[in-house]
Amino acid sequence: MHLSIFDWLIIVGFLLLSLAIGLKYRRRGSKSLSAYFLTGRNLPWYIAGISMVATTFAADTPLAVTELVGESGISGNWLWWNMLIGGMLTTFFFARNWRRAEILTELEFIEIRYSGKEASFLRGFKAVYLGIFMNVMIIAWVNLAMMTIIEVFFDIPPQEAILYVGGLMLLTVIYSTLAGLWGVAMTDSVQFVIAMTASIILAFIVINTDQVGGISGMQDQLPDSTFRFFPQIGGDEASLAGTLSISIGAFLAFIGFQWWASWYPGAEPGGGGYIAQRMMSCKDEKSAVMSTLFFQIAHYCIRPWPWIIVALAALILYPELGGDELRMGYVMAMKDYLPVGLKGLMLTAFLAAYMSTISTQLNWGASYLVNDLYKRFFKPRRAFVNDEVADKHYVLAGRTFTLLIMLIALYVTTRVTTISGLWLFIIECGAGLGLVLILRWYWWRINAWTEIAATIAPFIAYGFAKLYLENIMPDSFLIHRGSFFFTVGVTTIAWLLVTRFTSPVKKEVLEKFYKKVQPDGFWKPFEEPGSKKPGNIRNLFICWISAIFMTYSTLFATGKIIFGQWSDAAIWVIIAVTSGLILYNRIKKTRIFD
């Protein structure tokens, strides 16, 4: 496909704008290590929230939604909609704590919460494991998605597409290293507006094509089951025509266990990764909560419907697509139905989505390698004559590590053809770890050995399940997510036993941590007599539940309005408003916004 000069001007203009933002914030982001990786803890809540949403809007996301809808209808989105439960838990139970801890990275938390050589080992190990191994795998996946888009758009081979992706990565490295997180967050804001605007325009255009015939024409041509918002529970097959059908075991895994039991990038129980980075970058605790709440609402209520509409239209426009080709319906609709100018805008939207994700992954990964590996173990601050010299050196190291991660990720991209099973592998091999990441804030008895055991045990349990248990009962074990439940159980038993038979964290470390963070939960040995905490578990729990109902109800109300189902929409609006009022009332009692 050939783009017009106008299309190319839009694309080039966007790329130059991204570079200009990096140049504008260069001085602000280079002042210190905190400024480079945390904006000097001065990020407005709305910028932090938009940056989180933009990061999760990767180049592959609309394609993945298109495939889910093609296979299982709208209800197929529950494969990611279920993560709202854990996301809201982070908002009310952990956002304040992350900001209050005043640490530079998530991994620095390990050595203010735990003690001993085991804590140092855990911090260094996770810096390499998350900062390099896990990070480059995520980047490789996003690169593959962008390569696919470029291949379809321009009819070029993969060997040529990766050169374009490499160029995009290099540009992303330039603006993200110039200004650090300031440049990343500000370009994220611009990129998100462009990406969402283009997605809405595409949805409006394809729904009004003659083949689709608007919402009513779409509803006439597709089975009613395609438009169901909820999966069928109790089926024995992974998917039925037009709607998602899952077993009771799989349903319990998604709704009852997965959101708290498994570690997953961007949806870590208790917060973590780039989500924690944004919360720690906010001006204060109130801003950390507001940014995360905005992120959850925007992520689940604003983003999905334009993608879902295009995905439904693609089922009509391209009935010949099936299997892995379903996701290509989104890109084909862009090619075939967007006029001159809008093609460039839509491709720019994908570039924006891609670059926002890549810039965050690069900056986040480099923060681990600098702060939790290089600065902690190889070149501590005391090795420099003064803090100014140290900060300049660490910022340079951050830029160097960013480039290094880019090069490793590009190499991995050339070696990987498909990693569709990676996400299941990550969930299974983190099953059971999530509860420890939650409890380390709420139970003083958790120690570094607990987290080490919870990190290692899932790999052993999942390996045993795959090699032995699935051979004994291959059908039911897979369908009912038996390996997941088995891994959660083994991991939980392992870390409980390790906690029981290892020494607690040193008292002085726990006292210092409690005094600084003032966490809720089981910290009675360290509480001052007669002291009052700024919040309480009961009120936070009500905030959490009401926010979940409010967000889901808003999501469903929007869909019902789009499809003209007014009576159902009214019910969901009433639930959303009622939940919102309860949330507003209870938030004041937790003193989150004091």
pLDDT band at 90 (very low <50, low <70, confident <90, very high): very high
Question: Of 509, 533, 557, which closes a domain?
Answer: 533
Look at residue 243 and tell me whether its pLDDT is greater than 60: no
| Structural contact between residues 548 and 85, judged by C-beta atoms closer than 8 angstroms | yes
Look at residue 464 and tell me whether its pLDDT is greater than 50: yes
Q: Where is average pLDDT lowest: 66-75, 101-110, 244-253, 560-569?
A: 244-253
Task: Tell me the DSSP string of 498-525.
Answer: HHHHSPPPPHHHHHHHHHHH---SB-GG
Q: Is residue 261 included in any domain, yes or no?
A: no
Give the chain's domain count: 2
Q: Is residue 335 included in any domain, yes or no?
A: no
Q: Are residues 517 and 443 in the same domain?
A: yes
Q: Is residue 33 included in any domain, yes or no?
A: no
- In this prediction the pTM is 0.88
Helix, strand, or coil here: 484? Answer: helix
Q: Is residue 489 included in any domain, yes or no?
A: yes
Q: Where is average pLDDT lowest: 154-163, 394-403, 489-498?
A: 154-163
Q: Are residues 500 and 539 in the same domain?
A: no
Measured at the CA of 451, the angle between CA 361 and CA 507, to 5 degrees, comes to 115
Q: Is residue 6 included in any domain, yes or no?
A: no
Q: Are residues 461 and 523 in the same domain?
A: yes
pLDDT at position 250: 61
Q: How far apart are CA 103 and CA 352, in angstroms?
A: 30
| Structural contact between residues 472 and 502, judged by C-beta atoms closer than 8 angstroms | no
Q: Are residues 522 and 567 in the same domain?
A: no
| Structural contact between residues 165 and 413, judged by C-beta atoms closer than 8 angstroms | yes
Span 397-438, pLDDT tens digits: 999 999 999 999 999 888 776 545 566 677 777 888 989 999
pLDDT at position 241: 45
Q: Which domain holds residue 464?
A: 429-533
